[in-house]
Amino acid sequence: MDNQHDVKIVTHMQNDYSVIIENVTFGYDEDRPILKNVSLKIRQGSIVAIMGGSGCGKTTLLRLISGQIKPQTGSVTVLNHNISSMPNRDILHLRKRMGMLFQFGALFTDMSVYENVAFSLKEHTNLPECLIKKIVAMKLNAVGLFGTENMMPQELSGGMARRIALARSMALDPELMMYDEPFTGLDPISLNVSAMLINKLSNALNQTSILVTHDIESSFKIVDYIYFMADGAITSQGTPEQIRNTDNLAVRQFVDGEINGPFRFDYPAKLDYSKYLEGYYK
């Protein structure tokens, strides 16, 4: 009886988290560690941001979670599978349950919007074309671009292309979505639209989402939890509220710099045109 009870508790605890990383060390070269004793947990259904300076290991962390690379020490558990010890064939199978959207998540330029979004459905399922058409239409509707099936990528604005790429990465209804700097290069309006879209889709599908981003303003509106990284280690973590009020100087600089500073990491500063013109006409 007691044993059964224990098993139940363990199962329940595992299902609470989509990603559990424990004491992971990783380096592309043996002698240069990139991730240093990283531990983190991402709750099922939550939206979590990974933040930190360029080159600190954020993309490497996503590669570990998607099983493209394996840790040298420690363990990576994704959707209840310990992928540190999993054969590559099984990882490929598991990866169908994950979606990824990368910074310049480029569309296939010689394919229509329809073919782009249908791509993984055709690759990974035996669904008949008539059903694929319906799914593509649903996905396009979800990103607010219903009816764009026959357009070619060159005919789309940057923001539209990003939303099509989002629809494409969602085609197989992934349980875990990873976004690597999805806002980079977007103007502030597209950026907020994208953030809200990620939030909406994540909630509608009860997805778990991991968001690598520099954009504090947009991401803090939608994320449940933030991990800050520096030089391959997690240096700070908390809810948006906790991070806004943190005493950690490095994090403070990051947060204050983003909100009040003159520079943006990834997209042009929102100019206050009235002030700008005042100076101009003096």
Ligand X SMILES: Nc1ncnc2c1ncn2[C@@H]1O[C@H](COP(=O)(O)OP(=O)(O)O)[C@@H](O)[C@H]1O
Tokens of 26: 């990783």
Coil vs helix vs strand at 131: helix
Is residue 66 part of the contact set for Mg ion (CB under 5 A)? no
Tokens of 225: 């939890």
Question: Whole-number minimum distance, CB 95 to Mg ion, in Å?
Answer: 19
Question: In terms of CB distance, is 56 or 197 closer to ligand X?
Answer: 56
Beta sheet of 47-52, edge-to-edge order: 98-101, 176-180, 208-212, 47-52, 225-230, 233-238
Is residue 54 part of the contact set for ligand X (CB under 6 A)? yes
Among 39, 55, 123, 269, binds ligand X (CB under 6 A): 55
Instruction: Work out what residue 57 binds among Mg ion, ligand X, none; the CB cut-off runs from 5 to 8 Å by kind.
Output: ligand X
Is residue 213 part of the contact set for Mg ion (CB under 5 A)? no
Question: In terms of CB distance, is 36 or 133 closer to ligand X?
Answer: 36
Among 19, 24, 34, 47, binds ligand X (CB under 6 A): 34
Question: In terms of CB distance, is 104 or 146 closer to Mg ion?
Answer: 104
Tokens of 41: 């947990």
Binding span for ligand X by CB under 6 A among 57-65, 138-146, 198-206, 245-253: 57-65
Please report, as residue ranges, which positions from 39 to 58 form the binding site for Mg ion (by CB under 5 A): 58
Among 42, 56, 79, 195, binds ligand X (CB under 6 A): 56
**DSSP calls for 182-238:** TTTT--HHHHHHHHHHHHHHHHHTT-EEEEE-S-HHHHHHH-SEEEEEETTEEEEEE
Cβ–Cβ < 8 Å for 50, 212: yes
Among 18, 59, 66, 169, binds Mg ion (CB under 5 A): 59
Residue 236, number of CB atoms within 10 A of its CB: 20
Question: In terms of CB distance, is 38 or 118 closer to Mg ion?
Answer: 38
Cβ–Cβ < 8 Å for 213, 219: yes
Question: Whole-number minimum distance, CB 57 to Mg ion, in Å?
Answer: 8
Closest CA to 58 of 266, 258, 254, 231: 231
Which helix (H) or strand (E) segment holds residue 236: the answer is strand 233-238
Question: In terms of CB distance, is 156 or 234 closer to Mg ion?
Answer: 234
Q: What CA–CA distance (Å, rounded) separates 33 from 56?
A: 11
Is residue 184 part of the contact set for Mg ion (CB under 5 A)? no
Question: In terms of CB distance, is 59 or 66 closer to Mg ion?
Answer: 59
Among 17, 42, 47, 59, binds ligand X (CB under 6 A): 59
Query: Which phi and psi (to 5°) does residue 271 adopt?
Result: -75, 140
Question: Whole-number minimum distance, CB 57 to ligand X, in Å?
Answer: 4
Among 21, 42, 57, 161, binds ligand X (CB under 6 A): 57
The number of CA neighbours under 13 Å toward the Cβ of 204 is 11
The number of CA neighbours under 13 Å toward the Cβ of 174 is 28
| DSSP state for residue 163 in the 8-state scheme | H
Q: What CA–CA distance (Å, rounded) separates 266 from 215?
A: 8
Question: In terms of CB distance, is 55 or 147 closer to ligand X?
Answer: 55
Question: Which residues of this chain interact with Mg ion, rule CB under 5 A?
Answer: 58-59
Question: Which residues of this chain interact with ligand X, rule CB under 6 A?
Answer: 28, 34, 54-60
